[in-house]
Chain A
Amino acid sequence: MNATLLSLEQTPPLSVPIRFFLTAPLFGILASILLFYDGPELFNNRWGMHTLALTHLLTLGFITMVMFGAMLQLLAILAASPVPHPVLVSNVLHISLTLGTLSLAAGFLNGYNWLMQSAVILLGFSFLGFISVVGYCLIRIKDSNPIFTAMSLALSALAVTAILGIGLGMLFGFKISLPFPHILTDLHLTWGLIGWIVLLLIGVAYQVVPMFQITPAYPTRLTRWLVPLIFLSLLLWTVFYVLALFNKVPILFPRILMGLIGLGLSSFAVATLTIQKRRLRKLPDITLNYWRVGMLSLLLCVILWLANIDSIFLIILFIGGFVLPVIQGMLYKIIPFLVWLHLQNQQGNNPMKRIKVPNMKKIIPDKQARYQFWLYMLAFGLLIGALLAPSYLNSVASITLMLSFLFLAYNIYSAVWLYWRVSREIAAIV
């Protein structure tokens, strides 16, 4: 018998993933506040300390935060390979990631060495923990499947990103000297955004896009080759990028590889939009809206990259237009479902069954999700506007962004509040 199959029933407690989802929007709010205070200055200098603080509040505090929680849940649901000691593991990972991100942002903002040192230690600990635990769960899976391949490669990319990031953090915190910090920063950024974030999102999309809207599956050739090819191109790009900087190979080499990666990302976006167009479920759906925005922004990113548009604009479009929408869209399915599932399971032990478990649309009503979506879209539009005309729009953009994260937090917190209320009612009867 397949031993991993036997653990199918071990869904981790709700608290395991939900603490990450509850924390993420708070970092979005912090990022918006920083944007409000610093204003347009943030966009002018990619190497500025405040820009780095903002970037990490979003990439670690929001994006990685959600991805940690989602992975701990997905390993149990999709892979039947649950994380051992889930409550302990999520406690340790969540606390170290939260405090590490806070110290990193604070360290960037005020330059104290001790903050940067504690960030290096806390984040190093968190990533080492996450990579070892999740790596162990992935190795344990015997079946090969495009989703698990994507998860494994994304995890390897996270390892590369984290090592480079820790090295760069030590440069600030411990004043060690590192050769060519700007090159290392470029590698850190590329591996983080394309390797860790995108590869994982692609892998998860293979599973959830057909599931949410009943679409045809992604083409088999795409799911088999896309993620491994992007990963391989990223490896080769790294080598050629470094060689090109030392004039050992023409600068065209790494550009061609990045072009191939762009081609891969566009084929993912086009495939997603195409299968979504052929969906059986035609009802209005906020997750679908968020994903469509995400895929169009991803395509636009590739086009603008080809047109040599400056990198700050691209990064904002990539994070704000692609990654954040896709993640928010997913949260609107995962959170209500988990709340329902855990209440339903709790109810299962009660033969009287007198409490009616609210359905997903009562846990986060469509209307609330829709308003939040439009508010976020407005904030994103204003943010793009602020890049072009900083002095007028920046404060409006940052306040709107903050409101959209507050609204997201409200939607998530009220879902969890409802869980507690109903769970107590069920417990009272049992």
Chain B
Amino acid sequence: METIVQTLSQDHSRCDQLFAKAEESVAKTDWKRANTDFANFRAAMERHFTMEEEVLFPTIEKRAGQRIGPIRVMRMEHQQMREVFVEMEESVTQQDSDEYLGLSETLLMLMQQHNGKEEHMLYPLSDRVLQHDAPSVIKEMQQKGDQL
């Protein structure tokens, strides 16, 4: 059976790959590729956030019948990452590689500690709460993501 842990952790790795690709293009100051690569990375992240914020999180909170502290923190960290994306985009537009690489270093730490918490705690918790309904929630998440 498909689990939340597998599906969303794999999506994290996909985002990591796109992150590394964009960073490499910027480091080489290949700005044409950097533009596309950064846009792809950002789109993948937004898709991931949307799947969580609009499908997974509300479903879990509904099942639990209460607001869950960690979910609030996850949403807050998504917001923090979005703020960094805005600055990163500016640096791509201005072709400022030093600024981009400083921001990407920062984003990576923020993103990895966030992913770690999700993969070790929130996703296993979601699988426990959802049990057999996990596949249908995954399907709903993917549909939501594809609409973007």
- Residues of chain A touching chain B, judged by Cβ–Cβ distance below 8 Å, are 1-2, 5-9, 77-78, 80, 143, 145, 207, 211-212, 214, 280-283, 333, 336-337, 340-341, 344, 348, 359-362
Contact = CB atoms under 8 A, between A and B. Distances in A.
Given A8-B70, A280-B16, A280-B17, A360 B102 contact: yes
A145 B70 CA distance: 19
Contact of A8 (B87, B108, B117): B117
Contacts of A8: 69-70, 73, 117, 121
A214 B70 contact: no
B68 A1 contact: yes
Contacts of A361: 98, 101-102, 105-106
Nearest to A9: B73
Contacts of A344: 80, 83
A393 B102 CA distance: 39
Given A8-B117, A283-B27, A360 B105 contact: yes
A282 B24 contact: yes
Contact of A7 (B17, B69, B72): B69
Most buried by A among B98, B105, B125: B105
A360 B109 contact: yes
Contacts of B110: 337, 341
Contact of A280 (B20, B99, B120): B20
Contacts of A340: 106
Interface in B44-89: 64, 66, 68-70, 72-73, 76, 80, 83, 87
B121 A80 contact: yes
A282 B101 CA distance: 12
Nearest to A338: B109
A2 B72 contact: no
Interface of B: 16-17, 19-20, 23-24, 27, 64, 66, 68-70, 72-73, 76, 80, 83, 87, 98-99, 101-103, 105-106, 108-110, 112-113, 116-117, 120-122, 124-125
B121 A211 contact: no
B80 A333 contact: no
A143 B102 contact: no
Contact of B19 (A2, A5, A214, A348): A214
Contact of B120 (A1, A143, A333): A143
Contact of A211 (B64, B72, B73, B116): B116
A211 B113 contact: yes
Contact of A283 (B16, B80, B101): B101
B94 to A, nearest CB: 14
Contacts of B83: 344
A38 B117 CA distance: 48
B17 to A, nearest CB: 6
A80 B70 CA distance: 10
Nearest to B111: A211
Contacts of B112: 211-212
A360 B108 CA distance: 11
B120 A77 contact: no
A80 B117 contact: yes
Contacts of A212: 108, 112
Contacts of B87: 359
Contacts of A7: 69
B96 to A, nearest CB: 11
A165 B20 CA distance: 47
B69 A359 contact: no
Nearest to B72: A9
A353 to B, nearest CB: 9
A143 B121 CA distance: 8
5 contacts: A9-B76, A211-B113, A212-B112, A359-B103, A361-B98
Contact of A359 (B27, B70, B102, B125): B102
A78 B108 CA distance: 16
Most buried by B among A143, A360, A362: A360
Contacts of B68: 1, 5-6
A211 B115 CA distance: 10
Contacts of B109: 211, 333, 337, 360
A257 B108 CA distance: 40
A359 B88 CA distance: 11
A337 B121 contact: no
A345 to B, nearest CB: 8
Given A333-B109, A337-B110, 8 more contacts: A8-B121, A78-B113, A78-B116, A80-B121, A212-B108, A214-B20, A280-B16, A281-B23
A260 B111 CA distance: 37
Contact of A360 (B106, B113, B122): B106
Given A143-B120, A344-B80, A77 B113 contact: yes
A4 B122 CA distance: 11
Contact of B69 (A6, A145, A280): A6
A127 to B, nearest CB: 28
B47 to A, nearest CB: 19
Most buried by B among A9, A211, A359, A361: A359
A224 to B, nearest CB: 15
